[in-house]
Amino acid sequence: MAETADVVVVGGGCIGTSITWQLAKRGAGRVVLLEKTGIASGATGWSSAIVRMHYTHESLIKMALFGRRMFENFADEVGGESGFRRVGFLVVLPQEDVPAARRVVGIQRGLGIDATMLSLEEITDIEPRLSLNDAVAGCWEPDSGHADGSSTANAFAAAARNAGADLRMGVEVTGVEAGGGSSVRVTTNAGDIDAGSVVMASGYRTSALLQPLGVEFPIKPVRHSIAVVERSAGFGAPHPVISDHIQNGYYRPEGTELVLLGDHDPLEGEVDHDIETDKQPPPSSINRHTARYAGRFPSEVDALYRRGYTGVYDTTPDFQPALGVVQAVPGLHVAVGFSGHGFKLSPAVGRILSDVVLGGETDVADISMFRVERFAEGDLVTAPEGYGKRSLA
Does one domain contain both 178 and 232?
A: no
CATH code of the domain covering residue 293: 3.30.9.10
Does one domain contain both 140 and 230?
A: yes
Q: What domain range is 121 assigned to? A: 85-145+220-313
Residue 338 lies in a domain: yes
Residue 38 lies in a domain: yes
Does one domain contain both 297 and 159?
A: no
Report H helices in 241-338: 283-296
What tens digit of pLDDT does each residue of 285-311 get?
A: 999 999 999 999 999 998 999 999 998
Does one domain contain both 160 and 232?
A: no
Does one domain contain both 233 and 305?
A: yes
pLDDT of residue 344: 97
Residue 348 lies in a domain: yes
Does one domain contain both 91 and 191?
A: no
Can you give the pTM of this predicted structure? 0.96
Cα–Cα separations (whole angstroms), residue 368 to 321, 324, 352, 374, 381: 11, 8, 12, 10, 10
Does one domain contain both 32 and 170?
A: yes
CATH code of the domain covering residue 196: 3.50.50.60
Number of domains in the chain: 2
* Residue of higher predicted confidence among 383 and 121: 121
What tens digit of pLDDT does each residue of 238-294 get?
A: 999 999 999 999 999 999 999 999 998 888 878 878 777 777 888 899 999 999 999
What tens digit of pLDDT does each residue of 68-101 get?
A: 999 999 999 999 999 999 999 999 999 999 999 9
Residue 67 lies in a domain: no
Contacts of 362 (CB under 8 A, 6+ apart): 351, 352, 355, 356
Cα–Cα separations (whole angstroms), residue 136 to 91, 99, 183, 256, 332: 11, 12, 56, 29, 47
Does one domain contain both 329 and 301?
A: no
pLDDT of residue 270: 83
With 0-12 / 13-18 / 19 or more C-beta atoms within 10 angstroms meaning exposed / middle / buried, residue 235 is middle
Highest-pLDDT range among 126-135, 206-215, 266-275: 126-135
Q: Whole-angstrom Cα distance, residue 296 to residue 94?
A: 14
Does one domain contain both 225 and 308?
A: yes
What tens digit of pLDDT does each residue of 177-208 get?
A: 987 667 899 999 999 999 999 999 999 999 99
Residue 303 lies in a domain: yes
pLDDT of residue 385: 64
pLDDT of residue 266: 81
Residue 388 has pLDDT above 90, yes or no: no
What tens digit of pLDDT does each residue of 1-55 get?
A: 689 999 999 999 999 999 999 999 999 999 999 999 999 998 999 999 999 999 9
Query: DSSP character for 161?
Result: H
Residue 308 lies in a domain: yes
With 0-12 / 13-18 / 19 or more C-beta atoms within 10 angstroms meaning exposed / middle / buried, residue 276 is middle
Residue 307 lies in a domain: yes
Q: How many CB atoms lie within 10 A of CB 99?
A: 12
pLDDT of residue 389: 46
What tens digit of pLDDT does each residue of 98-117 get?
A: 999 999 999 999 999 999 99
Does one domain contain both 110 and 157?
A: no
Residue 79 lies in a domain: no
What tens digit of pLDDT does each residue of 309-362 get?
A: 998 889 999 999 999 999 999 999 999 999 988 999 999 999 999 999 999 899
